[in-house]
Structure 1
Amino acid sequence: MTHSHRAPTLRADRAQLEQLPVSVWPTAQQVAGTQRQGRYVPGSVAHPAKMLPAIARHAIATFTSPGDFVGDPMCGIGTTLVEAVHAGRHAVGVEYEPRWAELAQANLALAAQLGATGTGHIHQGDARHTLPQLAEHYPAQLSLLLTSPPYGPSTHGHIRHDRGHGVQKFDHVYGHDRNNLAHRSLPQLLDAFTEILRAALPLLRPGGIVAITTRPFRHNGELLDFPSLTLQAAVAAGLQPVQRCVALLAGIRDRHLVPRSSFFQLDYVRKLRARGIPVSVIAHEDVLILQAPTSGAPLTQGGVACPLTSPRRRR
């Protein structure tokens, strides 16, 4: 991939992204470990890029009602599913790596033990092939599809300090299967993500919501506008952009942001700054909100996406 090949697409998608209505989600009032404590089995921490549980909780509370179905075609350790069943929703997920699929199943079992009233099911496999099969069992049933594509290896992982070897990074890869999309080139990943979203459409209710968490990241020193590229992939799949949400990865205290950055993220920023690259620690993730086709009125006016008139709660 060359910069000249992708630059026009980035400019076009950034303009579309910036036209969307914006809201802010205060999703890091507690640190990630506290959010997961007691709700996830210990092995879950090994996953390199877990969704923050509060992001999943906020999306589920905003766009669904108890009894609704929630899905995640790239569910990792099952954060979307666990938070859905605890909220009285039903959930279905797909995960490519057997290791993470097993952990997701263990997390759902723990949720049931803790009294979660929803039900959840995990299917291990490639979402591009598994989703068409699931569409036969869940036709037009999902109110919300909440997911995140693999991205940004520089933002993943954990560190430990070894007296003999200094600071070492670990648990920073999804798996070693080269067919995992996390190991594919960016154009291949985006094409596959479009295919996954397109395959998920038959599972969504008319007008159902798709929420995608994403963030920019650096590759070989170059900043990649991954939210814009993700938006392009979703639009190509047939989804309509509706809203852009800023899910804070920093807490709010006395009207000030409280950083939640890991040691590794801070160390990465220091090294880039030492090379003259002006960067800051990550303070938020973008959550792109899109809508599946409906049989009603169009979702746009004058080519600009309109905000949802109301959340998909039904009381």
Structure 2
Amino acid sequence: MDSTPVAPRPAAVLAEGHSGSVWLTGQQPSRTLRRGRYAPASITHPGKMLPTIARYAINTYTQPGEVVLDPMAGIGTTMVEAMHLDRQGIGVEYEARWAELAAINIALATTNGAPGTGEIYTGDSRNLATLLPRMLRGTVALVITSPPYGPSTHGHVRTPGARRGKVRKLNHRYGGSDNLAYRDHDTLAEGFTDILTGCRTVLRPGGHVVITARPYRRHGELVDIPGMVVAAGQAAGLELVEECVALIAGVRDGALVPRASFFQQKNVRDATAAGDPQWLTQHEDVIILRTPR
């Protein structure tokens, strides 16, 4: 049995004066959720959003026929899930490699009978207002996205040879060094603020923004990405509605079923053995913002 410590978690993460809730989104492994619904190459992206998180947000904050946008679209999870729920999914992706894969997944959704539509643009979402067609301004009901985690992504494990040689990482990078994921924290915060400011130009009054984020450790120090997201949203003129928890672990008989990567488990065990007790993260913080009505 896995002995890696799993963090206990309160029923909700609350900002003062705001409500919160737990999204039961980790009941199935991510590979099961994507099988037959996404191209096999989708597994190579290092920072994929769980399809069930996108589905929950779309069902909660939109109606059939409405527009859902992801300004950091990756392999197109938001668009694919929006299409299957009869919405119009629109995405923007900086890396051409992932934009091409998103286009493949959009086409696969159509082949699978999804009643909605999907579209992907390639470009820098810090220039969102000029990148997207003007006709979208004021029409988007929901933005769903996640900031990049850069060096903290773990990818996949490979142990080459019959003797199971040195463990190495594969598929753990978003793209080149110019990607926002690999800039310093202040540049990431500034860039993410620019992206959310652009989202305001296309959101309708009262439209929602759902952002998943989690803290991570850099050189042993905790980096507060959820806090950065809230600050960026408020700097962009958005209102904080609530902070929720989206589980990436399953729940069975009242206990969590961890779905952490090999490297996450190893890092936690090594830190605990060195006298620095740490816990496996089994959730995403979900920051929910809204344009002023």
Q: TM-score, normalised by structure 2?
A: 0.92
SS in 1 for 2:275: coil
Deviates more, 1:249-258 or 1:45-54: 249-258
Q: Is the 8 A contact 2:150 2:182 kept in 1?
A: no
Between the aligned partners of 1:94 and 1:188, the Cα distance in structure 2 is 20
Between the aligned partners of 1:131 and 1:150, the Cα distance in structure 2 is 21
Q: Is the 8 A contact 2:25 2:248 kept in 1?
A: yes
Partner residue, 1:213: 212
Between the aligned partners of 2:279 and 2:112, the Cα distance in structure 1 is 39
Partner residue, 1:301: none
CA gap of 1:186–1:160, structure 2 versus 1, over 3 A, is: same
Partner residue, 1:271: 270
Tell me the CA shift for residue 137 of structure 1.
Answer: 2.5
Q: Is the 8 A contact 2:213 2:284 kept in 1?
A: yes
Deviates more, 1:15-24 or 1:260-269: 15-24
Alignment of 1:23 onto 2:25: no
Q: Is the 8 A contact 2:128 2:195 kept in 1?
A: no
Partner residue, 2:233: 234
Tell me the CA shift for residue 65 of structure 1.
Answer: 0.8
Q: Is the 8 A contact 1:82 1:108 kept in 2?
A: yes
Q: Is the 8 A contact 2:38 2:105 kept in 1?
A: yes
Q: Give the AA of the match of 1:73.
A: P
Between the aligned partners of 2:56 and 2:202, the Cα distance in structure 1 is 22
CA gap of 1:16–1:152, structure 2 versus 1, over 3 A, is: farther
Between the aligned partners of 1:160 and 1:27, the Cα distance in structure 2 is 28
Q: Is the 8 A contact 2:14 2:244 kept in 1?
A: no
SS in 1 for 2:116: coil
Q: How does 1:24-39 map to 2 (within 5 A)?
A: 24-39=22-37
Partner residue, 1:251: 250
Q: TM-score, normalised by structure 1?
A: 0.85
Q: Give the AA of the match of 2:188.
A: L
Partner residue, 2:165: 165
Alignment of 1:86 onto 2:101: no
SS in 2 for 1:267: helix
Between the aligned partners of 1:135 and 1:159, the Cα distance in structure 2 is 41
Q: Is the 8 A contact 1:17 1:228 kept in 2?
A: no
% same residue: 53
Q: Give the AA of the match of 2:132.
A: L
Counterpart pick for 2:109 among 111, 120, 123: 111
Partner residue, 1:299: none
CA gap of 1:259–1:18, structure 2 versus 1, over 3 A, is: farther
Tell me the CA shift for residue 129 of structure 1.
Answer: 2.1
Deviation sequence 1:187-217 (CA, Å, 0-9, x none): 0000010001101111111000000000011
Counterpart pick for 1:145 among 139, 143, 146: 143
Q: Is the 8 A contact 2:125 2:131 kept in 1?
A: no
Q: Is the 8 A contact 2:123 2:131 kept in 1?
A: no
CA gap of 1:111–1:204, structure 2 versus 1, over 3 A, is: same
Partner residue, 1:102: 100
Q: Is the 8 A contact 1:152 1:217 kept in 2?
A: no
Partner residue, 2:51: 53
Q: Is the 8 A contact 2:153 2:173 kept in 1?
A: no
Between the aligned partners of 1:40 and 1:154, the Cα distance in structure 2 is 24
Structure 2 residue ranges without an equivalent (≥5): 1-12
Partner residue, 1:175: 175
Q: Is the 8 A contact 2:83 2:117 kept in 1?
A: yes
Between the aligned partners of 2:261 and 2:164, the Cα distance in structure 1 is 22
Tell me the CA shift for residue 255 of structure 1.
Answer: 1.8
RMSD, aligned α-carbons: 1.5
Tell me the CA shift for residue 164 of structure 1.
Answer: 5.5
Tell me the CA shift for residue 18 of structure 1.
Answer: 5.0
Structure 1 residue ranges without an equivalent (≥5): 1-14, 295-315
Q: Is the 8 A contact 2:250 2:256 kept in 1?
A: yes
Tell me the CA shift for residue 141 of structure 1.
Answer: 0.9
Deviation sequence 1:48-100 (CA, Å, 0-9, x none): 01001110010011111110100000000011111000110001110000000
Partner residue, 1:309: none
Tell me the CA shift for residue 231 of structure 1.
Answer: 0.5
Partner residue, 1:63: 61
Partner residue, 1:201: 200
Tell me the CA shift for residue 183 of structure 1.
Answer: 1.1
